[in-house]
Amino acid sequence: MKLKAGEILDNVKAIMLSYEGMGVVKINDYSIFVENLLVDETANIVIKKANTKFAFAKVLKHITISPKRIKPDNEKLMESGSTPIAMLSYKDQLLFKEEFVKYLFGRNIHFENVAEILPNPKPWGYRNKITVFCDEINGKFVLGLFEKNTHNLIEQTSYDLAHPKLNEVILWLDNNINNYQSLKNSVNNINSFTFRYSEASEEGLIIINANKMLKIDNKLITDITNKFNWIVNIIVNLESKNSNKYFALLDSKTSILDKIDSLSFNLEWNSFFQINSAQTNNLYNLLINNLDLNKNDIVVDAYSGVGTIALKIAPFVKTVYGLEIINEAVMNARDNAKLNNIENALFYSGDVNKTIFKIEQNPNVIIVDPPRSGISTQFLETIIKINPEKIGYISCNVHTMCRDIDYLRNNGYQLIYLRPCDMFSQTHHIECVGVLIRK
């Protein structure tokens, strides 16, 4: 079957929810994934994107409504695809995520003992970083978010996933941006704006992501910093294949101080850091409590980034080695260890498959927090070669986590703990923590 973008289908029915929270419509064996359509609801839909195997669509009109549907507080945010399951109550969102993890691990590796999902203490306003996009519409410079699977910018009335401080400055900028001619004239050279905020230090940054250097009104800089005195700098980030230059518009620092629990982290404007600091701490505590660490443990934290996991577990173990391929992140991690007076956390830069064999002690615990692609085949083989007693696994993609755990189970390890964690409420994304022990 082959559908075309723009084609309208009437009175279709969703038979299940996909992993991404979309209603699944089946026509023969052809799947259509429909935004904002719950199980057993019927609707008229329009195709947004299609190929020979499946299509994406959105609802034009609901015909029948599920009793589980609620009216989202922010329909524009949902229309953009940023909150794809906000039409479910928070209780039902948690159930959807927990049931999916149970289904995935039960079907693929016959693991049934999935712990209850850990709720998010702040289902809204939890993001400490957000990127918004811009375009010229009817002669005006506007900010917004792109609709999923389109280049259609949807203006927003509120960015409710972001911390209220970020929401406030974004809305102010959106309402006032056309008053500054130099910025308005640069609309074609600006790709997006990124906003960062630390609740711990009450510091924030604005990053203007551009394809060429911009001339920014001094009045704009003054007006923003006068109104939002927590903004420590405004940075122009030149996004180019041949350059990663940036320019700070204020004679001030280009970093902010953030915290996970009692640990402090100095974050440069481009440093990766967990989006939801409070829930990240809860996730790490789950890992620590279920790894049953002790003062004799030698731990490797693979994919260690700026050192958040390594520094969190350092007080519980003899030594922790953080391994990270990005040298700048390793330098940040070392600085963060000094900042927190932690001496038993050591950080090394390079390919984890090589650096793990260069550390001074043999690890009996390996912790992984890989990217969405999961653990590489080579590093899985390396883990088996090292043969640690315990493995801790934090995942942002339960599909690749399930795949990797299946490999480890087939090579001498037993999964003893698995718990999903709601890090990104109103979205389909699921964090998960697992613990494996050597058989």
- Is 396 a catalytic site residue? yes
| DSSP-derived pairing of the beta strands 8-13 and 42-50 | antiparallel
Report d(CA 259, CA 79) in Å as an integer. 33
CA neighbor of 420 nearest in space, from 408, 412, 430, 410: 430
* Cβ–Cβ under 8 Å, residues 436 and 411: no
Residue 156 labeled ligand binder: no
Give 195's strand partners: 130, 206
Which residue type sits at 174? D
Alpha helices, H only, 314-376? 327-339, 352-355
Query: Any known ligand binding at 174?
Result: no
Q: Which is catalytic among the residues 396, 402, 421, 432?
A: 396
d(C-alpha 57, C-alpha 52), whole Å: 14
197 is in an annotated binding site: no
369 marked ligand binding residue: yes
Residues facing residue 238 across a β-bridge:
210
Contacts by 36-41, CB closer than 8 A, 24 or more apart: 36/78, 36/84, 36/87, 37/62, 38/14, 38/66, 38/68, 38/69, 38/87, 38/88, 39/14, 39/15, 39/66, 40/13, 40/14, 40/64, 40/66, 41/13, 41/14, 41/65, 41/66, 41/69
Round the CA-based radius of gyration of the chain to a whole number and report it. Answer: 23
Q: Strands 54-64 and 30-35: what pairing?
A: parallel
* Catalytically annotated residues: 396
Q: Please report, in range form, the residues annotated as the binding site.
A: 274, 303, 324, 369
